[in-house]
Amino acid sequence: WGVHGQLCHGSIDDEFSPKLVTKFQGRKVLNIGCGACHSVVLTQNGEVWASGAGVFGQLGSGARHKASVPRRVTLPEPVRSIAVGYFHNLALTQSGAVYVWGGSPQQVRAAD
């Protein structure tokens, strides 16, 4: 299941026992979320980080790539809360603005 890098430890290997995610040592993590093949982390200072598969833009970089090490999602202000969906994410900023990124493949979209 780590094949897309969503385990955040710099490898695409599976882990069969808990492994420390060293990227966040020295930072206080407030929230984490997992999608189908990506993970998102919110730190105390309002930074959002993502890793894993990004084929639908769910890593927030503007590109469709994989990342096995969390990469910071650039947002205009600090974030206070995140929500993570199957292929998308939402962030609620300190001022109350909501940002969303990612997508939904046509095959899984509900009919209107």
Q: Look at residue 58 in the predicted model and tell me its pLDDT.
A: 95
Q: What is the pTM of this model?
A: 0.87
Q: Look at residue 81 in the predicted model and tell me its pLDDT.
A: 98
Q: Which CATH class is domain 22-108?
A: mainly beta
User: Domain segments of the chain: what residues?
Assistant: 22-108
Q: What is the pLDDT along the chain (112 residues), one digit of tens a residue?
A: 567 888 888 888 888 889 899 999 999 999 999 999 999 999 999 999 999 999 999 999 988 888 999 999 999 999 999 999 999 999 999 999 999 999 876 555 554 4
CA distance 5 to 16: 15
Sign of the Cα pseudo-torsion (69, 48, 58, 64, in order): negative
Token pair for residue 107?
């095959």
